[in-house]
Structure 1
Amino acid sequence: MNMAKRPVEKYDFKAFGEAIKEARKGRKESRKKVSDEMYISPRYLANIENNGQHPSLQIFFELIQRYNISVDQFLFDSPAGKDTNRRQLDALLDDMSDTGIRIVTATAEEIAKVEKEGR
């Protein structure tokens, strides 16, 4: 029996790579630091970030955890659950003191009030 290759469009990882690069730079982490800590080559990370190279499932998983990236935006047309910005904010809030949380809450309430007035 001749098994023809499935005519499936390969998933484009370019947007994922861009999100990883942006998150890494946002944390001011060098590609070398990240690749050393993850035991991968800097070239492999550069290819994921710049060329849309498909990461292994393990590396994909480690990167989304490291940078609190939501995979929903890459896998689904409509965002299900929390997007990356909300996940990254959640991660910041998790490490914040009660005082910090009060400041952020007051700031968010003020922004909401100003935006409501602007409508």
Structure 2
Amino acid sequence: MSERYLYRIENEGKRPSYNVLYRMIRTLNVSADIFFYPEKRTDDTEVDHLLRMLCNADERALEVIKATATALINTAPEKQL
């Protein structure tokens, strides 16, 4: 995708094709709601941020994250009621 094409989308109101829009959403790792429902308020929670990071992680990173999370959960002190 050329810079000129992006410029035309951003500044001249050109509408991207479905494939281009799809690639932009995936590349930016954002919700499609931002484009289709811009009036909808979205709060980027810590969990949402972590989920986006997980979607971009490779297999090795996922294994490390899984092992770390398991270790943290298994060694956490029990909550007092």
TM interval, short-chain normalised: 0.3 to 0.5
Q: TM-score, normalised to structure 1's length?
A: 0.36
Query: Normalised by the size of structure 2, how large is the TM-score?
Result: 0.48
